[in-house]
Amino acid sequence: MISRKIYRQLVMIFSIINSKYSLKIKIELLLTWFRINIKYRTINKLYKLNKEKVLSYKVKAFDYESIKLLFEEIFCSNVYYFESTNDHPVIFDCGANIGFTTIYFKWLYPNSEIYAFEPDKITFEILSKNIQNNNIQGVHLYNVALSKTAGKIDFFVNLINPGSVWMSRYPNVICKDKISVDSMPLSSFMPDETIDLIKLDVEGSENEVIDDLNKNNRIKFVKKFIIEYHHKIDYKGKRDQRNELGSFLNVLESNNLEYQIDSRLMHVTPENTVQNMIIYIHNKKLS
């Protein structure tokens, strides 16, 4: 039986080969993937790297494992790949972390205008440096959390290992250190014009963000969404964990939006188990 590690590596290779990129880019991605994996298993064991050249970009992270995982998820697995007829797409990167998705979108569409949001101050500093050090133009950075209202909210991070992708408004096994961050509704940043893509990975706040856009009549201006939906993210919390996926999808359907769901969690038998899924949404009226 093939091991899980080998299976994952084969999936990465197949994802790159099966992508819609040119042969030249596929080869470049494969070579970058091999280099990162070799360095992760050799040099990183001795020197604890935190920088890497990804294609034509120099990126810094809190550790080399983050570079490996983010590169594989974003550049190799093509989770956030989208096609646009607009050569200058307007993109909202909500939950930008250290900037891999922001860089990916700029790599995909060099002339894009990107609005990137990251609530954690320490992570935001790395995000800012990655954008500045690569002299990337057309990117607007905001150190805020996205929610229904403006103000301050509790936010849970891991102070020992900063930059975790599991940072959230809800405490979990990894991130239990509570800090206070500024919050703003996404609708307050959106102009009355077409948005080509909103990428939303806000670790459990996606219901609030979509409700805000719906109530403020902003959904109709968005061509596409790519949303990482966190089902039962607060299952270890004290409050009862309600099923909210139905109401979330109902908002999409009431706005005549089409969607496809890609679940990442294979085993779903245990009750109250957090489950991540990607929801791809498009507005046929704006296509």
137-160 pLDDT per residue, tens: 999 999 998 988 888 877 677 666
CA distance 229 to 89: 24
> Per-residue pLDDT tens for 33-61?
999 999 999 999 998 899 999 999 999 99
User: Which of 181, 126, 141 has the alpha carbon at shortest distance from 157?
Assistant: 181
pLDDT of residue 178: 73
CA distance 92 to 60: 22
On the 0-12 / 13-18 / 19+ scale of CB atoms within 10 A, 51 is: exposed
255 CB contacts (<8 Å, ≥6 apart)? 214, 219, 220, 283
Which run of H or E residues covers position 229? strand 222-231
Return the bridge partners of 244, or none. Answer: none
pLDDT of residue 164: 65
CA distance 225 to 80: 10
On the 0-12 / 13-18 / 19+ scale of CB atoms within 10 A, 31 is: exposed
CA distance 111 to 131: 15
Q: Radius of gyration of the chain from Cα atoms?
A: 19
- Residue 178: both structure tokens together: 């509570």
Asked if 243 contacts 233 with a C-beta cutoff of 8 angstroms, the reply is: no
User: Which of 258, 282, 257 has the alpha carbon at shortest distance from 85?
Assistant: 282
What does the angle CA 163 – CA 219 – CA 184 come to, to the nearest 5 degrees? 45
Cβ-based neighbour number of residue 216 at 10 Å: 13
Using CA atoms, how far residue 142 sits from 69, 119, 146, 167, 183, in Å, is 24, 8, 10, 17, 10
- Residue 14: both structure tokens together: 């197949």
User: Which of 222, 213, 227, 224 has the alpha carbon at shortest distance from 95?
Assistant: 227
User: Which of 93, 97, 123, 130 has the alpha carbon at shortest distance from 108?
Assistant: 93
Asked if 155 contacts 180 with a C-beta cutoff of 8 angstroms, the reply is: yes
DSSP 168: B
Which run of H or E residues covers position 57? strand 57-60
* Sequence letter at residue 250: N
Regions of the chain where pLDDT drops below 50: 1, 235, 237-239
Q: Kindly list the structural domains of the chain, giving each domain's residue range(s) and its CATH number in brackets, ordered by start.
A: 1-79 (no CATH), 83-286 (3.40.50.150)
CA distance 247 to 250: 5
Using CA atoms, how far residue 6 sits from 13, 65, 87, 266, in Å, is 11, 17, 38, 17
